[in-house]
A and B are shown apart, each in its own frame.
Chain A
Amino acid sequence: MASSTSASDLGPGTALLLLAPLTVLMAAILLYPLGVTVWTSVNNGGFTLSAYADLAQSTLFLKVLRNTFEIAIGGTLMSLVIGYPVAMHLAAQPPTRRTAYLIMVMLPFWTSILVKSFALVAVFGNQGLVNQLLGFLSGGAIKLPMMFNRVGVILGMLNFLLPFMILSILGSLLSLDRRLILAAETMGAGPLRIFWRITLPLSMPGMIAGILINVTLSIGMYITPALLGGRQDMMVANLVDFYTRQTLDWTAASATAVVLLVLSGLLVALLGRVRGAAGLSEAGA
């Protein structure tokens, strides 16, 4: 027996036997359909990139791509701006209270996205809670359209993205050595300087990971724009669905899906560089 194998190691034969069923399934249900998608996008009676050329010419595709970037980046930046102070608030709590507040942050994470979408309509829709309140306060004068438009998509997006951003930044803040802040205080630094020179730079890794996770998650978003957005707010994922079901143009649908796959692949790779493998599993969870 080789000296590097220990008694608890499985032999290659047993290992293969245990791995084979899942590997076959994943090849058939994951790799094969991805292959079919790529193949459909370049096969029009023979190999051609015409589907991609068509997309590049399509005003619809370009508009949807712009929407996607606007919503993903806009939503992510808002999530960063809102999430940062929340993470600071959490970091400043004693551990038991922090756990209690974290449950509130994690609740949307556990709730079905359909439940949240329905609830957001009930809260922010034209007959929703917020508009009822506004109407009551203003004597019926004010009604804000916040659903089935860009605002609705952003609200839904934020509800989905914020927990990831907050947790990511919180991780950085909790590992920050509080004595650095005490030291800065004894040297006479005020709160703003401490924030800019110490807290912010030292939480940069958490912020970067949070931003990448948010952009990765939002770029492939399908349900939120479909349920909370208007016709004008279609994102790439919705376009894939549109080509598949409305126009039955599977070639265009596949090409669009491949574009999305490449985009999110790049983001995942970037995230992997920033966070190592741990970041990858978090991005999907």
Chain B
Amino acid sequence: MNELFGSSRAARRITSTLAWLCYLFLLVPSLIVIPISFGNPGQIEFPPRQLTLDLYRQFFTDPAWWGSMVQSLLVAVATTLLTLLLAVPAAYALARSRLPGRRGLQGLFMMPMLVPVIVLGLGLYLQFSSWGLLDTTAGIILAHIMLTTPYIMVSVLSGLKHSDIALETVAAIMGASRVTIFFRVVLPQLKAAIAVGALFAFLMSLDEVVVAYFLTGTQTMTLPVKMFSSIRWELTPVLAAVSTLLTVLSLLIALGIIALQRKTEASS
């Protein structure tokens, strides 16, 4: 009975109707692509008149489509691994040292989250055009490392905050070296936090459009860029098949992240 506006039934019924309309509005766009993707290749149909796999066949037989997907997966995997390699030690140093200016550095690592992507896209475009990195896979990977750093940073820093510093002290007292402590004591405690950050970074890179749109060309086009121009110029039903694949992947990653977070919460 103790609702937020007392026990008025009318008020509760109105909010509940409004809320369900809103849930529908938030839910439907993410899920409606699934039935559409099994429809006819001729046009976008909902509900589909007959169920076929034609759209998926089209997707996987058109090198422009699946090639861009391979490129996206490649970029996302490389980005994730390299960002981990750079950001995990940096996060450890930020959390476990008294270096003057480490707050400023942390601000720098978080900054990509706060700057509008279009500004970063333009800046990188201007810079890479003079460095000859436009339309190169290395260029887009570099840009994505920068974009995903804050997300891994946030996750690992919070993991370090929740890990037990006393264990490191004990290991040091027992004579373990810095390197041993990092690999045998710190990293095992950070596994879940690193995995969460990595999954997040992978998804971010896989879905990133704006910067990729500025930096890639015909040789290096990623899937989101291909989708962007397809939605803009032709609106082919194949998009439904791509979208379904992406949505399923996103959901799996989201579930993975939620499960990992549950696990860390339960253990701490």
Contact = CB atoms under 8 A, between A and B. Distances in A.
A222 B240 CA distance: 22
Given A33-B123, A119-B33, A237-B116, A223 B228 contact: yes
Nearest to A220: B116
A283 interface: yes
A92 B12 contact: yes
A149 interface: no
A261 B227 CA distance: 27
Contacts of B251: 110
Interface string A190-208: 1110110001000000000
Contacts of A260: 116, 118-119
Interface string B151-194: 10010000000000100110011000010010000000000000
Contacts of A270: none
A142 interface: no
B120 interface: yes
A86 to B, nearest CB: 5
B27 A9 contact: no
A37 interface: yes
Interface string B126-167: 110000000000000011011001110010000000000100
A22 B87 contact: yes
Interface residues of B, number: 97
A284 B243 CA distance: 24
Max chain A Cβ within 10 angstroms of own Cβ: one of B111, B115, B145? B115
A115 B110 CA distance: 27
B4 A173 contact: yes
B145 A86 contact: no
A3 interface: no
A18 B156 CA distance: 15
Given A29-B146, A105-B26, A114-B209, A37 B126 contact: yes
Interface in B79-136: 86-87, 89-90, 92-94, 96-99, 102, 105, 108-120, 122-127
A7 B235 CA distance: 61
Interface in B50-105: 86-87, 89-90, 92-94, 96-99, 102, 105
Contacts of B142: 25, 29
A280 B111 CA distance: 10
Given A122-B46, A261-B115, A30 B120 contact: yes
Interface in A17-65: 18-19, 21-23, 25-27, 29-34, 36-37, 40
B14 interface: yes
A116 to B, nearest CB: 5
A146 interface: no
A284 B113 contact: yes
- Mostly helix, strand, loop or mixed at chain B's interface? helix
B119 A34 contact: yes
Interface residues of A, number: 104
A33 B207 contact: no
Given A10-B97, A26-B111, A91-B4, 11 more contacts: A6-B169, A7-B168, A8-B172, A12-B98, A23-B90, A30-B111, A105-B26, A113-B209, A122-B36, A181-B5, A261-B119
Interface of B: 2-8, 11-12, 14-16, 18-19, 22-23, 25-33, 36, 43-44, 46, 86-87, 89-90, 92-94, 96-99, 102, 105, 108-120, 122-127, 142-143, 145-146, 149-151, 154, 165, 168-169, 172-173, 178, 181, 203, 206-207, 209-210, 214, 224, 227-228, 231-232, 235, 239-240, 243, 246-247, 250-251, 253-254
11 contacts: A8-B168, A10-B178, A19-B90, A23-B108, A25-B86, A34-B115, A85-B19, A114-B243, A185-B6, A189-B6, A285-B113
Interface of A: 4-12, 14-16, 18-19, 21-23, 25-27, 29-34, 36-37, 40, 82-83, 85-86, 88-92, 101, 104-108, 110-123, 127, 129, 158-159, 162-163, 173, 176, 178, 181-182, 184-185, 189-192, 194-195, 199, 219-220, 222-223, 226-227, 236-237, 240-241, 244, 250, 253-254, 257-258, 260-261, 264-265, 268, 280-281, 283-285
